[in-house]
Amino acid sequence: MQLHEDKYKDLNLKIGLEIHVQLKTEQKIFCECSTDYINSSPNNNICPICTSQPGSKPMGVNEKALENLLKIGLFFGCKAYEKPFYVQRKHYFYPDLPSNYQRTSQPILGDGNFMGVGIWEIHIEEDPGRYELREGKVDLNRCGVPLAEIVTAPDIKSPEYAREFLRDLLLSLEYLGVIRGESGSIRADVNISIMGGNRIEIKNVNSVKGVYKALKYEIVRQKAVLQRGGTITMETRHFDEGSMITKTLRKKETVADYRYIPDPDLVPIYISPEKLQEIESVLPESPHNKKKRFMKEYSLGEEIVDALISDLYLSDFFEESAKKSNPIESGKWCATELKRRLNEKNLSVSTSKITPKHISDMIGFIERGELSVKNAKWIIEDAVDTGEDITSLMDKKNFYQISSEDTLLDIIEKVMGDNPKAVEDYKSGNENALHFLFGKVVNETEGRAEPSKTIKLLKDKLCMVN
Amino acid sequence: MFTKDLIEDLSSNSLEEHIHKKIEEIQKKDKEINSFITLNIEDAQNSSKEIQKKIDKGIQGKLSGLAISIKDNIAVSKLRMTCGSKVLENYIAPYDATIINSIKKEDGIIIGKCNMDEFACGSDGTSSYFGPTKNPRNIDYVPGGSSSGSAASLAAGFTDLSIGSDTGGSIRCPASFCGVYGFKPSYGLVSRYGLSDMAMSLEGPGPFAKDTYGIALLLDIISGKDPRDTVTVESSKSYTKTVENFKDQDIKNLKIAYAKEFFEGVDEKIKNIILDKISKLESEGAKIEEVSLPNIKYAIPIYYLVVFSEFSSAMSKFDGFKYGHYVGGQDIVEAVSNTRETSMGIEVKRRVLLGTFITMEEFRGRWYTKALKARSAIKEDFKRIFNSYDLLIGPTMPTLPWKIGERISDPLSMYSSDILTVSANLAGICASSQPVGEAKGLPVGLQLHADSLCESKLLKGMRAVELACGGI
Ligand SMILES: [Zn+2]
User: What was the pLDDT predicted at A312?
Assistant: 85
Set of chain A residues whose Cβ sits within 8 Å of the Cβ of B201: 264
Length of chain B: 472
Residues 6+ apart with CB under 8 A from B222: B99, B102, B103, B163, B190, B191, B205, B207
Give B344→chain A minimum CA distance, Å: 16
Q: How far apart are CA B334 and CA B315, in angstroms?
A: 17
- What ipTM goes with this model? 0.94
Question: C-alpha dihedral over A108, B202, A93, B80, to 10 degrees?
Answer: 130
Q: How far apart are CA B298 and CA B379, in angstroms?
A: 12
Q: How far apart are CA A93 and CA B356, in angstroms?
A: 13
Is-contact A250 A236, C-beta < 8 A?
Answer: yes
Q: In terms of Cα–Cα distance, which of A152, A81, A64, A146 is closest to A112? A: A152
- The answer to whether residue B257 is domain-embedded is no
Q: Which site among A259, A260, A266, A267 would you substitute to test the B interface, given the most B Cβ atoms closer than 10 Å to its Cβ?
A: A259
Q: Which domain holds residue B54?
A: 2-244
Q: Give the count of alpha carbons within 13 A of A132, CB side only.
A: 8
What is the DSSP secondary-structure string of B33-92? H--EEEE-HHHHHHHHHHHHHHHHHT---TTTT-EEEEETTB--TTSB--TTSGGGTTPB
Q: Does residue B146 carry a catalytic annotation? A: yes
The enclosing domain of B222 has a CATH number of 3.90.1300.10
- Residues A37-91 pLDDT 10s: 999 999 999 999 999 999 999 999 999 999 999 999 999 999 999 889 999 999 9
- The answer to whether residue B309 is domain-embedded is no
Give A28→chain B minimum CA distance, Å: 14
SS3 B374: helix
Q: How far apart are CA A70 and CA A64, in angstroms?
A: 10
Give A114→chain B minimum CA distance, Å: 31
**Cross-chain residue pair B317–A100, CB shorter than 8 Å:** yes
Give A90→chain B minimum CA distance, Å: 9
Neighbours of A382 (CB within 10 A): 19
- The answer to whether residue B208 is domain-embedded is yes
CATH no. of A405-465: 1.10.10.410
First to last CA, chain B: 6
Q: Does residue B71 carry a catalytic annotation? A: yes
Going from the Cα of B196 to the center of ligand 1, the distance in angstroms, rounded, reads 17
DSSP class of B364: G
Q: Which residue from A52, A56, A93 is facing B332, i.e. has the nearest CB?
A: A93
Q: What are the residue boundaries of the structural domains of chain A, listed by start?
A: 5-280, 285-397, 405-465
Q: Does residue B170 carry a catalytic annotation? A: yes
**Cross-chain residue pair A259–B336, CB shorter than 8 Å:** no
Neighbours of A460 (CB within 10 A): 11
- The answer to whether residue B158 is domain-embedded is yes
Per-residue pLDDT of chain A in tens (466 residues, 90 and over written 9):
555 566 788 889 999 999 999 999 999 999 999 999 999 999 999 999 999 999 999 999 999 999 999 999 999 999 999 889 999 999 998 889 999 999 999 999 999 999 899 999 999 999 999 998 888 899 999 999 999 999 999 999 999 999 989 988 988 898 899 998 765 578 999 999 998 888 999 988 999 999 999 999 999 999 999 989 888 888 889 898 888 888 887 766 666 688 899 999 999 999 999 999 999 999 988 777 888 899 999 999 999 998 898 888 899 999 999 999 999 999 999 999 999 999 888 888 888 999 999 999 999 999 988 888 888 999 999 999 999 999 898 888 888 888 888 888 899 999 998 998 988 898 888 888 888 999 998 888 888 888 888 889 988 888 887 6
Number of domains making up chain B: 1
Q: In terms of Cα–Cα distance, which of A52, A46, A50, A23 is closest to A122? A: A23
Q: In terms of Cα–Cα distance, which of A161, A170, A162 is closest to A202? A: A162
**Cross-chain residue pair A261–B227, CB shorter than 8 Å:** no
**Cross-chain residue pair A261–B319, CB shorter than 8 Å:** no
- Residues B172-196 pLDDT 10s: 999 999 999 999 999 999 999 999 9
| Angle B98-B100-B106 from CA coordinates, rounded to 5° | 110
Neighbours of A369 (CB within 10 A): 14
Residues 6+ apart with CB under 8 A from B137: B155, B178, B179, B401, B441, B442, B443
- The answer to whether residue B168 is domain-embedded is yes
Scanning B28-87 for CB atoms below 8 A from A yields: 73-75, 81, 83
- The answer to whether residue B202 is domain-embedded is yes
User: What was the pLDDT predicted at A276?
Assistant: 94
Q: Which residue from B74, B310, B369 is facing A264, i.e. has the nearest CB?
A: B310
Helix (H) or strand (E) holding B349: helix B346-360
β-strand partners of A149? A20, A123
Set of chain A residues whose Cβ sits within 8 Å of the Cβ of B312: 259
Going from the Cα of A22 to the center of ligand 1, the distance in angstroms, rounded, reads 16
Average pLDDT for residues B121-148, to the nearest whole number? 96
Residues 6+ apart with CB under 8 A from B204: B165, B166, B184, B185, B187, B188, B189, B190, B192, B195
- The answer to whether residue B428 is domain-embedded is no
Q: How far apart are CA B466 and CA B251, in angstroms?
A: 11
User: What was the pLDDT predicted at A401?
Assistant: 83
- The answer to whether residue B455 is domain-embedded is no
Phi and psi angles of residue B306, each rounded to the nearest 5 degrees, phi first: -65, -45
